[in-house]
Amino acid sequence: MSTLTTAPPAPTGARALVKRLSLHLDTLPTGAAVVIFIGMIVYGEAAYGRIVQFNTLSNLLINNAHLIILTVGLTFVILTGGIDLSVGAVIAFSSVAGVMLMNAGWNPWIAMALMVLIGTAFGAASGVLVQYFHVQPFIATLAMMFLGRGLASILSTVPERLADDNPVRGLGTQIKLYDGPKVNDIAITPGVVIAAVVVAAAFFVLHRTRTGRTVYAIGGSEQSAALMGLPVVATKMWVYIISGSLAGLAAVVYTARLGSAQNITGIGWELDAIAAAVIGGTLLTGGAGFVLGSVVGALVLGLMNVLITRDGSIPPEATTIITGGILLVFVLLQRAVLARRRE
Amino acid sequence: MSANAHGPAEALKGLVRRQYFWGIVAIALLLLVNLVKDPGYLAVTIGSSGNLVGNVIDILRAAAPIVLIAVGMCLVVATGGIDLSVGSVMVVAGAVSMEFLSGAPDTLGSGLAAVGLVIAVSAALGAVNGVLVSVVGLQPFISTLVIMLAGRGLAKVITGGQNTAATNESFRWIANGHVLGLPVVFLLALLLAVAMGILVRRSALGLMLEAIGMDAKAARLAGVNRRALLLTVYVLAGVLAGLAGVFATASVMTVDVSRTGYQLELDAILAVVIGGTSLAGGKFNITGAVVGAILIATLDKTVVFLGVSSSATPAFKAVVIVVLCLLQSERVRRAFRQRRAAAARPAEREAVAA
């Protein structure tokens, strides 16, 4: 009798903490990514030195601007529960086509717009295949990946150099914001500015607009989203178009920085972008994640490259192995977190 | 439908209805194109050492690795998964065998040991995929994508970034030897494909794989051991890809870490789709995959023979995959069915009137 009448025990301090934490489990992977990023900086500074200084950190942004743009695009797709494997190949085709057009005498700005539009076209094709013909996203985008790579190889198999006086190179030139001692300056490129604008726009769209809420809703449950009357079809088309266009934009930024393009550019970048998004806390099954987390994920990967170069004992070929390993670890972490939440 | 049709005609109809029939037609068309360009294209002569020599034999030789990876891919696709790592497993297999053989004596024993080593390594890579898919529950394309990109890195680490070459006559024989005048590679590939076909079709194994591909939950409720089967399938696909890597490297006894097996997952997927296996899972056709593999080898050889730049073939293959995916999709099928129904209706009316 007495057991029936006793009130439920009040949550103790520890339990309340667990409960509060479990409400914010979504942010746990993102938090982990930030911790890892800071940990890597501290380790790098302690082990190799010259990490926490302006030019290293500026270069981190400059060298990874294209990856940040790619990752933002992929975050949209992954949030809906889809995937885009074609981004690396789109970059290859778009940059080779763009450079060849410019070298053929096209107006650079029109050629650049075309580079972005090539990405848009690939994204739209993937979107149509996925949405109207119910091809699985990875099959559709895999076919686009092979297509992009194949088209790039048709155009050229040797590095295509951009002319030295081409205005596109201006997007890759460094602008000193703060002139530090020796080479220790704060510098950015227009490419970094573009990446920052993309991140800000994506943040606004995802967190402040209906489209953004629909993206999350589709990832949570496509069926529920459709039953609620959300524009599922149009939104799913849009995420692939966004991802494709951003891949085109990343091609512009990357080509501007490098000054040349080749058909083998961007092999494995889809893995980098997926890994960056996942490290940043985006669930591969969709429905949860943050654009800013993805940016941190991209910077973690970029910093990893810097540390590997500084270390020197790890062969650069091993980078993809390490990236793959990190991706797997984070996916396992997500599984564990999800399993906890279901309990 | 027509009960009074004769036996052979019925059999022909059955063949026509199979999707890989169109694969056979395509092979015939490609050979015809070659024949128009060079009337002696199909000629098979007996070479100096009593072996058959000719373009067709070359095609069969080139088809061997594709047959192996296509059969492995076929089984994986049947379970509703995909294996993007086949090309990378091939290059790892090539790297492992070449590194081993370059330091080993030129004997039959070391040749066999190299093959054994390849089987072990590729089985391990397949097992990684299998565990990630079956135990961890990762989407197949993510886990195999990681192996696809990390595998090539692994091969570069194994060889130190170099294209290792080695000499071993018995190992080379696998790719360049002949039995009964036919290349060993093709006979081996055919043997493995037939063995695999008998294994899955003469037992309930194939049915269970299809059950997993159709509805994993229902399969589990029906008592299908999903985990063990998935693990087995990915290990099998890995081993077959490893052997394909042996075939690809043994012919030149060199592993090219950036080109061996590059984009061969495209060929494997294409072969499987041409053979009538749905990428959505739940049904597969090993004969079709073999036909598809031979078609791809024929296509590759034809492109080279006609002097067309071979850089265009990957894009062409990708377009074919897209078209075949569209044909497999429900929307297109419905449209076809409606057209057929519309065409059949007036005929029915006439029949009733008569």
pLDDT of residue A97: 94
Domain assignment of residue A19, yes or no:
no
Q: What is the mean pLDDT of chain A?
A: 85
Interface with chain B: mutation pick from A133, A155, A337, highest number of B CBs within 10 Å: A133
Q: What per-residue confidence (pLDDT) applies to B353?
A: 53
CB A266 within 8 A of CB A91: yes
Residue with more model confidence, B52 or A105: A105
Assess whether pLDDT exceeds 90 at residue B243: yes
Percent of chain B with pLDDT over 90: 23
**Binning pLDDT at 50, 70 and 90, where does residue A176 land?**
confident
Mutate to test the interface with B, among A90, A93, A153 (most CBs of B within 10 A): A153
Q: What is the pLDDT of residue A24?
A: 63
Minimal CA separation from A2 to chain B, in Å:
43
ipTM entry:
0.81
Min distance A146 CA to chain B CA atoms (Å): 6
pLDDT value of position A2: 43
Classify the phi-psi angles of A341: left when phi > 0, otherwise alpha if psi is within -120 to 50, otherwise beta. Answer: alpha
In a domain, A4, yes or no: no
Q: Does A312 reside within a domain? A: no
The average pLDDT across B223-249 equals 91
Please check the confidence at residue B5 and state whether its pLDDT lies above 60.
Answer: no
Among A43-47, B49-53, B223-227, B289-293, the minimum mean pLDDT is found in B49-53
A109-155, pLDDT tens digit by residue?
999 999 999 999 999 999 999 988 888 888 889 889 989 988 998 88
One-letter amino acid for residue A162 of the chain:
L
Domain of residue A77: give its range.
53-266
Chain-centre distance for alpha carbon A42: 24
pTM higher than 0.80 for the full model?
yes
Nearest-angstrom CA–CA distance, B198 and B261: 27
Please list the residues that pair with A188 across neighbouring strands.
Answer: A175
Sign of the four-CA dihedral B128, B133, B138, B143: positive
pLDDT at A5: 46
Helices (H), chain B: 7-17, 20-37, 55-78, 86-102, 108-131, 140-159, 169-176, 184-201, 205-214, 216-221, 226-250, 264-274, 286-306, 313-328, 330-353
Q: Answer yes or no: is pLDDT of B2 > 50.
A: no
Evaluate whether residue A306 is within a structural domain.
no
**Whether B153 and A320 lie within 8 Å, measured CB to CB:** yes
What's the confidence (pLDDT) of residue A69?
95
B3 has a pLDDT exceeding 50: no
User: Quick one: pLDDT at residue B200?
Assistant: 87
Out of A91-95, A145-149, B159-163, which region has the weakest mean confidence (pLDDT)?
B159-163
- The 10s digit of each residue's pLDDT in B93-144 is 999 999 898 888 888 888 899 999 999 999 999 999 999 888 888 888 888 8
Within a domain: A236? yes
- pLDDT for residue B348 is more than 80: no
Residue A205 counted as domain residue: yes
Asked whether the beta carbons of A63 and A174 are under 8 A apart, the reply is no
* Cβ within 8 Å of residue B128, ≥6 positions away: B143, B147
Cα gap B248→B50, rounded to integer Å: 24
User: Which region, left, alpha or beta, applies to residue B150 given φ > 0 means left and ψ of -120 to 50 means alpha?
Assistant: alpha
Residue with structure tokens 């020796």? A182
pLDDT grade for A77, boundaries at 50, 70 and 90? very high
Q: For residue A319, give Cα distances in angstroms to A136, A309, A332.
A: 29, 10, 20
**CB A317 to CB B161 under 8 A?**
yes
Instruction: Please tell me the distance in Å from B192's CA to the nearest CA on chain A.
Output: 27
Residue A228 placed within a domain: yes
Q: Alpha-carbon distance A207 to A228, whole Å?
A: 19
Residue of A nearest to B313 (CA): A150
How many domains does one find in chain A?
1
Identity of the highest mean pLDDT range in A331-340, B217-226, B326-335: B217-226
Residues 6+ away with beta carbon under 8 Å from B280: A136, B80, B213, B328
Does residue A322 sit within a domain? no
Q: What's the whole-number average pLDDT of chain B?
A: 84
Tell me the Cα Rg of chain A. 22
Interface of B with A (CB under 8 A): 82, 84, 132, 136-139, 141-143, 145-147, 149-150, 152-154, 156-157, 160-161, 263, 266, 269, 279-280, 309, 311-319, 321-322, 325-326, 329-332
